[in-house]
Homo-oligomer: A and B are copies of this chain.
Amino acid sequence: MENKLIYYIRKWTDITREKEADVYKAFETISVKKKQKLLIPGDTCKYIYFITQGALRSWFVDDKGVEHIYQIRLENGWISDLESFFSQRPSKYYIEALEDSKLLRISYERLEALYIQVPSLERYFRILFQKAYINALERLNSTMWESAVDRYNNMMKENKDIFQRVPLVYIASYLGITPESLSRIRKKRQV
């Protein structure tokens, strides 16, 4: 199998070849063009997406009309609005491709059925959310207590690939600062 999804499930759980096939069959492959939107506010998020190739971002627009990016994801990551997906209620987020991308998607009903058919999947997602939660708390601590410069440096260290592929405006927003500030930080660094 050419994608990493099955690879990760296999890594974290005991799963039979047969069940792997069930999982694989439950996902649909889709291709999206750069700038194509997978979700807009008001719509309910029908799918969660595993990225096999490409890059996507997710953001919301505040009352003043300013965009705030809360996720940037590359291949082998998941993207969705989980709150909308799991509650099956309208989302406040956009999801859009930053590059032409290839995705695996699964719907809410299909996933619920699959949890029952393949209990290892429940374990996989338990571990996935556990890690995601720990990461989110780390990002929270860093946003609350580190300076913009430190956050920039950390991201440079840990997600260098994102800087090569994603416009700085989006990275600035993801870091919680303005593009102007990011520009100044980068200027200082080079000296």
Contact = CB atoms under 8 A, between A and B. Distances in A.
Interface of A: 60, 62, 68, 70, 82-83, 86, 115, 119, 122-123, 125-126, 129-130, 132-134, 136-141, 143-145, 176
A144 B176 contact: yes
User: Secondary structure of the A side of the interface?
Assistant: helix
Contact of A119 (B82, B122, B141): B122
- Oligomeric state, in copies: 2
A67 to B, nearest CB: 10
A41 to B, nearest CB: 14
B86 A137 contact: no
Contacts of A141: 60, 68, 70
A95 to B, nearest CB: 14
B122 A126 contact: yes
A134 B122 CA distance: 18
A11 B127 CA distance: 21
Contacts of A68: 141, 144-145
Given A129-B129, A136-B136, A140-B143, 6 more contacts: A82-B133, A82-B134, A86-B130, A119-B119, A126-B126, A143-B144
